[in-house]
Amino acid sequence: MEFFETIDNRRSYRGIFNDTPVTREILKLVIEAGIKAPSACNKQTPAFIGIDDPEIIKQIAAVIPKPACETAKAMIVCISDDRPVYGEISFYKEDCAAAVENMLLALTSFGYSSVWLDGVLRRDGNAEKIAEILKVPTNKRVQILLPIGVAGEPVPKSTRLPFEKRASFNVWGGQV
Ligand SMILES: Cc1cc2nc3c(=O)[nH]c(=O)nc-3n(C[C@H](O)[C@H](O)[C@H](O)COP(=O)(O)O)c2cc1C
């Protein structure tokens, strides 16, 4: 898939996945795309857990009982580490975000769908519950969860504001 086509085709998918499996090889390539993302001071704070054990997927789906989790054929969890990397400043959220976008684009290029689950992890202690399932050390946190599979339903495309509302040239509001 051509680069801009991949960007255009990526969308959040929250429906059920069909039975197409996600191989370990694909998961490795997608995680590799996450590893190649930039990180502040190249400190590479995010870590990744690829999940292809149906029993573990089931346990996570019990914490996040949404169709995409309940029917996911695989998952990737992005684990953050909030240690300071630039003086006292930590960039763990930005590091994870860069890695996750790379992985979402890689998944799209392979014809898989996913959704960036983040907000839902911050409620009801869900991130901590998943951390326990995955045996994540207590000094790290489950930041983002990607349920993965091939979409079993049409994927609605979300809209974006017009270019001129989002961007300008040379100065704020400068003509595009
Ligand atoms: C930081 C962040 C957190 C998000 N958290 C969630 C979430 O918890 N649950 C969810 O369904 N989607 C979540 N999303 C996905 C957004 O809702 C989605 O990207 C947005 O609606 C635009 O749709 P699109 O991804 O199809 O272009 C999150 C996205 C980002 C960037």
Q: What is the pTM of this model?
A: 0.97
CA of 53 to the centre of ligand 1 (A): 25
* d(C-alpha 121, C-alpha 141), whole Å: 10
Q: 141-148 and 74-80: which strand pairing?
A: antiparallel
**Residue 100 CA: which ligand 1 atom is closest?**
31
**Residue 1: pLDDT above 80?**
no
Model confidence over 111-165: pLDDT tens digits? 999 999 999 999 999 999 999 999 999 999 999 999 999 999 999 899 999 999 9
CA of 115 to the centre of ligand 1 (A): 7
In angstroms, the Cα distances linking 29 to 10, 16, 46, 105, 129 are 17, 23, 16, 12, 27
Model confidence over 28-43: pLDDT tens digits? 999 999 999 999 999 9
CA of 31 to the centre of ligand 1 (A): 19
Domains of the chain: residue spans and CATH: 3-166 (3.40.109.10)
CA-closest residue to ligand 1 atom 14: 116
Model confidence over 73-93: pLDDT tens digits? 999 999 999 999 999 999 999
* d(C-alpha 16, C-alpha 43), whole Å: 36
**Residue 106: pLDDT above 80?**
yes
Ligand 1 pocket list (CB less than 6 A): 11-12, 14, 115-120, 158
The mean pLDDT value for 105-115 works out to 98
